[in-house]
Amino acid sequence: MNVAILSPLDLSIAAALILILAGLSFNLKLGLESQILIASIRMTIQLLLIGLVLHYLFSSGSVWLIILVSQVMLLAAGREVRARLKRKLRGFFGYHVGVSAMFVSSFSVALLALLVILRQDPWYEPRYAIPFLGMLLGNTMTGVALAADRLTSLFYEQREVIEQRLMLGETRSEAVSDIRRDCMRTGMIPLINSMAATGLVSLPGMMTGQILGGTPPIEAVKYQILIMFLIGAGSGFGVICAIYMIEKHLFDDRHRLVLDKLLPAG
C-alpha cells in the first residue's frame, strides 16, 4: 500500500480552514481569533521541530538522548498544567505538582508497557518509547489540569464551608471529601467519555494512522485498545496523585486551611 505524500499545497488548503475559523470568530466577536492563530502557528512549529528531533533520535537510538527528550516533555507538560489553573499555586509547588503527578503516572505506565507488554529490545526503542510517552503525558496533562483547576477554585469558593466543618471537629480529609471526589470525577470523566465513544463515534488518530500506513485493521485495533487502557490508567493515577498533593499542600499540620498559598484568579 502506498502512503499519500502531502505537499505544501495540501497543508495550505487545510490551514485555510483555520483562517476561515479565525475570521468567523472575529465577525461573531468571540475574541478567539488571536488564540486560534497563535495556537495553530505554535502547533505547526512544534510538530516540525519534533519531527526533526525524532528523525535524529530514530537514527541514533541513544538512550541518553531519549531520556533527555522525555524529561523535556515532562517539564513542558508540568508548565502547561500550572498555566491552565485559574488560581495558581504560589512558588515552585505549582510547577512541582504537575511534574510529579505525571512522572508517577505516565512514566511508570509507559515503562510497564515497554518492559512487560511490548517487551522491546532494547526497551528504549525510540519508535515506541517517545510516542507512547507523548500520548500518556498529553492525556494525563489534560486530566490533571482539569482536576487541579477545579480543586483550587472550589477550595477558595467554599472556604467558609470547609472551615465550618473543621470547627465542628472534622479532619482535613473529612472536610473536603465531597470536593475531592468532585474534582477527581472532573479530571477522569473526559477520558471515560472518550473511551466510551472510541470505535463507535470516533476513530483515534493512532489507529487511523496505522491503517493509512498499511497495518491490518485488526492489528491497529489491538494497539489502540492497549493505548486506551494505558491512557485511562495513567490519567486516573495522575489525577488522584495531583489532588492529594494539592489538598495536603493547602492545609497546615494542624488541619487549618491555608489559602494564601494560592495566587489571585487570573
pLDDT, tens digit (0-9, with 9 covering 90-100), for 52-91? 888 888 787 788 888 888 888 889 888 888 888 888 888 8
**Who has greater pLDDT, 254 or 244?**
244
Residue 23 has pLDDT above 90, yes or no: yes
Closest of 87, 260, 100, 255 to residue 183, by C-alpha: 87
Mean pLDDT of 37-48: 92
Closest of 263, 240, 250 to residue 186, by C-alpha: 240
Inter-residue contact 101 to 242 (CB < 8 Å): yes
The alpha carbon dihedral of 10, 13, 15, 18 has a sign of: negative
Inter-residue contact 262 to 152 (CB < 8 Å): yes
Mean pLDDT of 173-181: 92
What is the gyration radius of the CA atoms in the chain, in angstroms?
21
Most confident of 1-5, 131-135, 149-153, 255-259: 149-153
Burial class (CB in 10 A: 0-12, 13-18, 19+), 70: buried
Cis peptide upstream of residue 122 (ω within 30 degrees of 0) = yes
Residue type, 259: L
162-165 contacts: CB < 8 A, separation 24 or more? 162/257, 163/257
Cα distance between residue 110 and residue 73, in whole Å: 13
How far CA 70 is from CA of 14, 48, 130, 139, 213, in Å, comes to 30, 17, 7, 15, 26
pLDDT of residue 208: 72
pLDDT confidence bin for 240, thresholds 50/70/90: very high
Residue 138 has pLDDT above 50, yes or no: yes
| Domain ranges for the chain | 1-60, 62-261
Cα distance between residue 146 and residue 184, in whole Å: 9
Inter-residue contact 133 to 107 (CB < 8 Å): yes
Mean pLDDT of 141-169: 91
The alpha carbon dihedral of 230, 66, 78, 34 has a sign of: negative
pLDDT of residue 3: 54
Inter-residue contact 98 to 239 (CB < 8 Å): no
pLDDT, tens digit (0-9, with 9 covering 90-100), for 194-221? 888 887 777 676 677 777 777 788 888 8
* Cell of residue 167, nine digits: 470547627
Cα distance between residue 175 and residue 23, in whole Å: 48
Cα distance between residue 85 and residue 83, in whole Å: 6
pLDDT, tens digit (0-9, with 9 covering 90-100), for 249-265? 998 888 888 888 877 77
Q: For residue 28, what is the DSSP state?
A: T
Among the residue ranges 122-131, 202-211, 226-235, the one predicted with the least confidence is 202-211
pLDDT of residue 1: 47
Mean pLDDT of 19-29: 92
